[in-house]
Structure 1
Amino acid sequence: MSMTLPHLTDAESFRAFRYDSSRWLPIALDIARSHGFDADAPHVFATGTNLVVGLGDTLILKIFPPLLRAQFVSERGSLTQLNGRLHLPIPEIAAEGMRDGWPYLIITRLAGTLGSEVWPHLPEDQKERLLRQIGETIAAVQRAPLGALGRIEPRWDDFMRRQMQGCRARHTRLGLAPKFLSGLDDLLRDAEQLIPMDAPPVILIGEYIPENFLLACDDGQWSLAGLFDFGDVLAGWRDYDLLGPSAFMAAGRPGRVKNLLEGFGHPKPDYALKRRLMALMLLHRASDLNSHICIEGWQEQAEDLVELQELIWPG
């Protein structure tokens, strides 16, 4: 078997390669051993974007294909910049390098239970409590200095303008109902005034969702215990990072929304804030309202985008 990582030119060929771990796991283990780490009990993570393998209980190896080098730059830069600056544990870099043009990181493995395993079963008061902690964590990350992340591409103004240009085509392709598409031009026109393009940027993780954080339970109370996956970091306007928890977790519940926004530092949401968040939700790089808004029957409860923003961010 070849111990060389291949030259892959497109995402489809990489996905096929990633799914067949027999083609790359021996190379991953060789990388781990080259740094002196134990590779006798590997665990391949089937989900995720890159090649990811657990090395026992304490380390994780992430190998990035050259076509996703930007994710390596983002992850490495974020872990370096945020190290020691948060109250919440994040992975630390134990080793890094390059193999056949594929950059990799060996990072510490955090303790805790994956948020997506716990969140659906929590009582409402604990969901509100966790959303307040998430809001506080977003604010803490954004207080950290940008450092080298200030040079990460794309720049916020370029990113937003590109998203605006492709917004209608994207949501038409994804099957957004005509009654919402009809208000898109008005919303995008408002967005140019509501979304700051040249304000001082902050670190944006982009995906504060249950799959990307760990929880721990103490005397029946669940709390945030760790944050990971920094492959899609941007530098830009702060409200962008409220979209993940708004879509995937708050579910339009007034108590959840209130705790998220108060934890973040926003007062009671006014029309302008709701309008800006609605615009940002449609402009998010992963935006797909039909798949991501976790309010049951929201398509029938709202007749246009204005009613939808009131449904998602009540109060």
Structure 2
Amino acid sequence: MTTASLPTFADPKAFRAWRSQPQQWLPIALDIARSHGLDVASSHVFSTGTNLVVGLGDHLILKIFPPLLRAQFVSERGSLKQLAGRLHLPIPEIIAEGERDGWPYLVITRLTGTLGSEVWPSLPEAEKDRVLRQIGETIAAVQRAPLGPLAEIEPRWDAFMRAQMQGCKARHTRLGLAPKFLEGLDDLLRDAATVIPMDAPPVILIGEYIPENFLLACHDDQWSLAGLFDFGDVRAGWRDYDLLGPSAFMAAGWPGRVRSLLEGFGYAKPDFALKRRLMALMLLHHASDLNSHICIEGWQDKAGDLVELQDLIWAE
């Protein structure tokens, strides 16, 4: 019996529509798994995420990347190889890799723990402080690892930042950022060119330290960080960029949480220069959308401009 081929897609929308119907691609995924001698008896599809993702039992995951997202495969594969054995925190291990019909794939180990997004909202405040400190420590640990081949990922930091600066005002206008914040963008972008280091030694940036991308585990009634996964958006650049996800989605303007995250990372309390740099980076992040991402109730009414907003997000 011949197995169907993986098709070619010209745009992400067509791929997403096809991916949403697993009956079209699951037989091919299982054939790939069998070609590596893997057991497919208890496989299951992960419906969320960007690529084709299939769990193979409780211990392995197959990720298949469409050619138009090959850059994510390059980032994921390079990051898992580069960080292997360098962190105190578990990350997936590559078991097998290959390509089918021009689609690269990875078979990786499945981590144990509970998805952060399932646990985070209900954690007591002291637990949130501790987890954020651990996240800050993990970001610092990742950034101490040598870049290796990840240094070659394009675009390079200075080109990426300049492109983001050029498109920043149009992006946030399109996304509906309130006029009172848009008014301060020109001043902030002028500052950004000097407050964001463009040619400092780059470090590994994961890009998205958010609850959907890490696992938590409970020991002795205390929740702790238990695993980190999803390295498809890795780039090389200035270290502060990776503070944005946990700042927006998790610290949410709580002074204790902000302090825990920054101290774990190795910073003292935020001064104006750090807040200004983080505000600029938040507006320039590759996925930036303040209306969707700042998890502070009523923040649009609590801040009158971008300077007040940075004080609200990184409260002392």
TM-score (norm 2): 0.99
The 3-state SS of whatever aligns with 1:52 is: strand
Asked if the contact 2:3/2:31 (under 8 Å) is kept, the reply is: no
The equivalences for 1:254-273 within 5 A come to 254-273=255-274
Counterpart residue number, 2:200: 199
How many residues are treated as equivalent by the alignment? Answer: 315
The equivalences for 1:245-260 within 5 A come to 245-260=246-261
Letter in 2 for 1:203: I
How far residue 43 of structure 1 moved from its aligned partner, in angstroms, is: 1.1
The 3-state SS of whatever aligns with 1:33 is: helix
Deviations 1:64-116 (A, max 9, x none): 00000000000000000000000000000000000000000000000000000
The equivalences for 1:139-154 within 5 A come to 139-154=140-155
Counterpart residue number, 1:12: 13
Asked if the contact 2:3/2:27 (under 8 Å) is kept, the reply is: no
Counterpart residue number, 2:25: 24
1:237 and 2:238 matched: yes
How far residue 2 of structure 1 moved from its aligned partner, in angstroms, is: 5.3
For residues 91 and 44 of structure 2, what CA distance do their matches in structure 1 show?
20
Counterpart residue number, 1:123: 124
For residues 69 and 127 of structure 2, what CA distance do their matches in structure 1 show?
37
For residues 69 and 235 of structure 2, what CA distance do their matches in structure 1 show?
15
The equivalences for 1:13-92 within 5 A come to 13-92=14-93
Letter in 1 for 2:164: Q
1:162 and 2:163 matched: yes
How far residue 17 of structure 1 moved from its aligned partner, in angstroms, is: 1.0
Deviations 1:273-310 (A, max 9, x none): 00000000000000000000000000000000000000
Deviations 1:209-262 (A, max 9, x none): 000000000011000000000000010000000000000000100000000000
Letter in 2 for 1:80: K
Moved more, 8-17 or 288-297: 8-17
Provide the aligned C-alpha RMSD in A. Answer: 0.7
For residues 132 and 16 of structure 1, what CA distance do their matches in structure 2 show?
39
Deviations 1:3-49 (A, max 9, x none): 21001111111001100100000000000000001011111001000
Counterpart residue number, 2:100: 99
Counterpart residue number, 2:294: 293
Letter in 2 for 1:52: V
Letter in 2 for 1:40: A
Which ranges in structure 2 are unaligned for 5 or more consecutive residues?
A: none
For residues 113 and 209 of structure 1, what CA distance do their matches in structure 2 show?
14
Counterpart residue number, 1:212: 213
For residues 46 and 278 of structure 1, what CA distance do their matches in structure 2 show?
33
Counterpart residue number, 2:185: 184
Letter in 1 for 2:93: E
Asked if the contact 2:79/2:234 (under 8 Å) is kept, the reply is: yes
The 3-state SS of whatever aligns with 1:261 is: helix
Letter in 2 for 1:109: R
Counterpart residue number, 1:303: 304
For residues 58 and 2 of structure 1, what CA distance do their matches in structure 2 show?
25
The 3-state SS of whatever aligns with 2:151 is: helix
Which ranges in structure 1 are unaligned for 5 or more consecutive residues?
A: none
**Once the two structures are aligned, what percentage of the paired residues are identical?**
81
Asked if the contact 2:84/2:93 (under 8 Å) is kept, the reply is: yes
For residues 314 and 270 of structure 1, what CA distance do their matches in structure 2 show?
10
Please identify runs of 4+ aligned residues in structure 1 that moved more than 3 A.
none
Deviations 1:47-68 (A, max 9, x none): 0000000000000000000000
